[in-house]
Chains A and B, each alone.
Chain A
Amino acid sequence: MLVLALDTATPAVTAGVVELTDAGPVERSVRVTLDARKHAELLMPGVLAACAEAGVALRDVDAVVTGTGPGPFTGLRVGMVTAAALGDALDVPVHGVCSLDAIAADALAAAAALPGRLLVVTDARRREVYWALYDGALRDGDGAPRRVDGPHVEAPVTLAARAAALGAVAAAGASAAAVGLPEREPASPSPAGLVAVAAVALRSAERPGPLEPLYLRRPDAVEPGARKRVSAG
């Protein structure tokens, strides 16, 4: 099964073609561009380049997987609406996965199982981080991680103070350094990691539900208060 995987929940604009084989996800191509301000400009060119490198046309794709955050909203929406529109136009299912789960999948697949838990921490701006906590062992042969807490948004000092109590022994994600634990790669989700998280859903015949962005914050908006007077006195 050929899967197009996208993620724009971090400054990395990620696109790749992944073959989901019986033995798990195998990356056929990856395009990553780092630019937190140009997700919309870079994503579709990245998708097309990834398809070209893998030697596949968009219409050959059997499914789309996209990170649903948490991540800075404007960039996050670019990946999600791109995935939704591609799935609609190509008439293939679109699976949303938590972007932190995909980082955990990569971090836990890259090295031996952890003797404890893994924190995944990414930049939420406004001096906060997004985080989630994972069991140190992967769940299945596809490399899906087991999330035990989160995702949340919080100040990094608060999270760092609780890291030991949470049972965390390592951290991954672009803001991993904020919690003072041994760090693991990666900083952002890979196409294979995204597909690993979605593998069970991809293999089932069930149509995925609607994509739900993990905003974790309400929009900044205040209801107007009492009218300001313009007349003097």
Chain B
Amino acid sequence: MIVLGIETSCDETGVGVVRAEPGGAVTLLANEVASSVDEHARFGGVVPEVASRAHLQAMVPAVHRALATAGVTGRDVDAVAVTAGPGLTGALLVGVAAAKAYAAAWDVPLYGVNHLAAHVAVDTLQHGPLPPCLALLVSGGHSSLLDVPDIAGPVTPLGATIDDAAGEAFDKVARLLGLPFPGGPHIDRVARDGDRAAVAFPRGLTGPRDAPFDFSFSGLKTAVARHVEALERAGTTMPVADVAASFQEAVVDVLTAKAVRAARERGMDTLLLGGGVAANSRLREMAQERCAAAGVRLRVPRPGLCTDNGAMVAALGAHLVAAGAAPSSPELPADSSLPITEVLV
């Protein structure tokens, strides 16, 4: 069975194609992504209207490329899955409308799925069936800790950011350090030559009375800004690599500590990382160390599957079909704040 997945929740127009085997395995056939990230760079963040315009232009060509890469035609597609939320409303609507049209024209069922659950499901394309797991999803739009007993079933949110998403903090700090947007890859790169212990930046929400599984990166961002301003006032050359490495260390320390603690408290022996920030090399490294120490298995999809893409949506769709889930209504809405407890709309 062939499932086509469409993702337009932020600035990537993603179209993926997967094949669901009778035994339950799901294999990746195509993963086409058209990104409008360059158009947002000069604004220092994703501009919703710019992203929506780009989705409209990119949608049909992306479907074409995905089908061609997968070596199938529209007639071979057995189901269409689409991100119904959470995300930017105008961006989501382009994908939802396109998915409805393709599903109706091909006369196949439509599945409106949750973007966050899709970030979890994508790992099955690389590492096979997923046992019950704890998932840490970190990107420019989300920072969530989820208890996932079953990929096609309800998900329990354990915690989330109370202010900035982790990826947003990377973008803002990159700007402070004169690095381009998006900040994540640039900070990762320059931090490799820096001293992680150069500056002791605060670890947000890690006090004994703080919510154990929530995150806060706003205070950290302000601390970096103060540090940079103090250096400027003193006329010191900015040690960009040291500040980047120390900032990154603070983010990664909190993320991995909370994730591993959650896994142990929930009795989960698998931790899954997902979202664009999961491509960060220091996050992968520290998660690996801490999981090994705690006896937790770590699963991290390769970077191309961590960032937003259509294959993750197709993968979740395939698992939902396999689980016998009922398709979505043709009146499926886009929901910018879709709760993670709703895996299928």
Contact = CB atoms under 8 A, between A and B. Distances in A.
A77 B52 contact: yes
Contact of B225 (A45, A83, A221, A230): A230
Contacts of B106: 89
Interface stretch (B95-103, B119-127, B255-263): B95-103
A74 interface: yes
Contact of A82 (B74, B90, B101, B333): B101
Contacts of B74: 88-89
A223 B42 contact: yes
Given A41-B331, A219-B50, A88 B60 contact: yes
Contacts of B63: 85, 88
Chain B interface, DSSP helix/strand/loop, else mixed:
helix
A219 B43 CA distance: 12
B104 A77 contact: no
B333 A41 contact: yes
Contacts of B199: none
B56 A80 contact: yes
Interface in A46-98: 47-48, 58-59, 73-74, 77-86, 88-90
B50 A41 contact: no
- Counting chain B residues whose Cβ lies within 8 A of the other chain, the interface size class is 35 or more
A213 interface: yes
Contact of B330 (A48, A223, A231): A48
A119 B74 CA distance: 43
A53 B54 CA distance: 35
A87 B157 CA distance: 40
Interface in A162-176: none
Given A86-B104, A220-B47, 16 more contacts: A44-B97, A45-B331, A48-B330, A73-B49, A74-B93, A77-B56, A78-B94, A78-B97, A81-B94, A84-B98, A89-B106, A213-B53, A219-B49, A221-B47, A223-B44, A230-B225
Interface of B: 42-44, 47, 49-50, 52-53, 55-56, 59-60, 63-64, 74, 89-90, 93-94, 96-98, 100-102, 104-107, 175-176, 222, 225-226, 229-230, 330-334
